Amino acid sequence: HGKMDLAESEGLSDLLFAETELQRKAAVRNAGGGLSRKIDDWQQRILQLSAMVEAELDFSDEDDVAPAQAETLQRLAIALAEEIRELLKRPRAEKLRDGIRVVLGGPPNSGKSTLLNALVEREAAIVSDIAGTTRDVIEVPIGLGGIPFLFIDTAGVRDSGAETIEKIGIERAHEQFAAADIILWLGDEGQGPDSENLVEVSSRSDHPEHIAKGKEAFSLSPVSGQGMDGLVDCLVTRAKDILPDGDQVSVNARQADRMNAACGSLDAMIHEPDYLIVAEHLRTARMALDEITGKASTEDMLDGLFGKFCIGK
């Protein structure tokens, strides 16, 4: 009924499912029309460009209509495309909704499951002295410092001695390393996955056979709690650099796709000499932005609503 557009309804959906303060703040901003206002501003600017082009096409022979300047059109289109791309550089809204993926990795019996249980403060994973106890991926969502995390325990990684089922678990562990935002490596220093997101952890600091890592590693004991606060602070700090700012507008994958389409249309018109084709590129750019707010299609609005809300048809 014109009360809420598609972008706002998606923000409302995120608000209903928000579990942390950061998720709530971001959802409130989008549900309150933060993104929609930006889209409306971009649409108005594209309409101004379209008006300049249409005036040139239809009324260029009349004295009271100033001719469109190609350089002015190009400058305005470039500035608008750059502004849209600046927003696209921000982290996606999905990352805020799904949480920061923290993968615990290391060889068998390196203390991964014990550390996971300490981080989530419950017995989420089975702890045993038997090598290869964890054979599949264990995912545990939790909020720390108002930030959503998804902690992932993996099978112990080793080059030999693993039987068939354990090998499958090791393969899945490597898949998780590739998709991780942060990797907590509990194995020998320097032997973890080649990733800039890797954090060396020297667990079992209270164990008689404990071997300390370098000064950059976190030395801790999940059993006694020694050093755990420092690791949690590190995770929260790193997460803030990965997640979108709750005070800024963020976009999801669907919205980003339409923004990229709008930028593509603006790029295509910049060096196009034919004003008829320029007008068409501007029209497709407007259509792409309309699809973000649902103005282009009632079906988009209905799909978005029925796909996320429990509404009787």
Please give the radius of gyration of the chain, using alpha carbons only, rounded to the nearest integer.
26
* Tokens read off for 40: 């409306």
* pLDDT at site 125: 55
Asked which of 39-43, 139-143, 294-298 is least confident by mean pLDDT, the reply is: 294-298
Asked which of 129-138, 151-160, 185-194, 261-270 is least confident by mean pLDDT, the reply is: 129-138
Residue 304 has pLDDT above 50, yes or no: no
Contact 225, 118 (CB under 8 A): yes
Q: What's the rounded Cα separation, in Å, for the pair 56 and 220?
A: 71
* pLDDT at site 5: 76
Mean pLDDT, residues 59-86 taken together: 75
Asked which of 75-84, 146-155, 292-301 is least confident by mean pLDDT, the reply is: 292-301
* pLDDT at site 113: 84
Considering only residues 73 and 164, tell me which one the structure prediction assigns the higher pLDDT: 73
**Confidence class for position 76, pLDDT limits 50, 70, 90:** very high
Residue 311 has pLDDT above 60, yes or no: no
Residue 78 has pLDDT above 90, yes or no: yes
* Tokens read off for 49: 């460009």
User: What residue spans define the domains of the chain?
Assistant: 6-94+246-308, 100-242
Contact 178, 101 (CB under 8 A): no
* pLDDT at site 4: 74
CATH number of 100-242: 3.40.50.300
Contact 27, 11 (CB under 8 A): yes
Q: What is the DSSP letter of 92?
A: P
* pLDDT at site 313: 43
* pLDDT at site 307: 56
* pLDDT at site 102: 93
Q: What's the rounded Cα separation, in Å, for the pair 149 and 124?
A: 15
* pLDDT at site 179: 87
Mean pLDDT, residues 84-110 taken together: 84
Give the number of other CB atoms < 10 A from CB of residue 63.
6
* pLDDT at site 65: 40
**Confidence class for position 109, pLDDT limits 50, 70, 90:** confident
Mean pLDDT, residues 286-308 taken together: 66
For 306, the enclosing helix (H) or strand (E) is helix 298-308
Q: What's the rounded Cα separation, in Å, for the pair 49 and 19?
A: 43
Considering only residues 227 and 13, tell me which one the structure prediction assigns the higher pLDDT: 227
Q: What's the rounded Cα separation, in Å, for the pair 117 and 138?
A: 11
Mean pLDDT, residues 253-269 taken together: 93
Q: What's the rounded Cα separation, in Å, for the pair 133 and 295?
A: 53
pLDDT above 90 covers a percentage of the chain that reads 17
Which of 168, 172, 167 is closest to 153 using CA atoms? 172
* pLDDT at site 58: 67
Q: What's the rounded Cα separation, in Å, for the pair 61 and 73?
A: 19
Pairing of β 138-144 and β 198-202: unpaired
For 155, the enclosing helix (H) or strand (E) is none
Mean pLDDT of the chain: 79
Q: What's the rounded Cα separation, in Å, for the pair 231 and 235?
A: 6
Considering only residues 132 and 214, tell me which one the structure prediction assigns the higher pLDDT: 214
For 200, the enclosing helix (H) or strand (E) is strand 198-202
pLDDT above 70 covers a percentage of the chain that reads 77
What is the distance of C-alpha 220 from the center of its chain?
30
* pLDDT at site 17: 65
Q: Say how many Å lie between the first and final Cα of the chain, rounded.
A: 16
200-247 per-position pLDDT tens digit: 988 877 776 666 777 778 888 888 888 888 999 999 999 888 877 656
Contact 186, 206 (CB under 8 A): no
* Amino acid symbol at 30: N
Half-sphere exposure of 25 (CA within 13 A, CB side): 12
Mean pLDDT, residues 169-198 taken together: 86
Tell me if the pTM is above 0.85: no
41-64 per-position pLDDT tens digit: 999 999 888 888 877 776 555 444
Q: What is the DSSP letter of 202?
A: E
Per DSSP, helices labelled H in 162-274 are 164-179, 228-242, 253-270
Q: Under CATH, which architecture does the 6-94+246-308 domain have?
A: Up-down Bundle (1.20)
* Amino acid symbol at 250: S
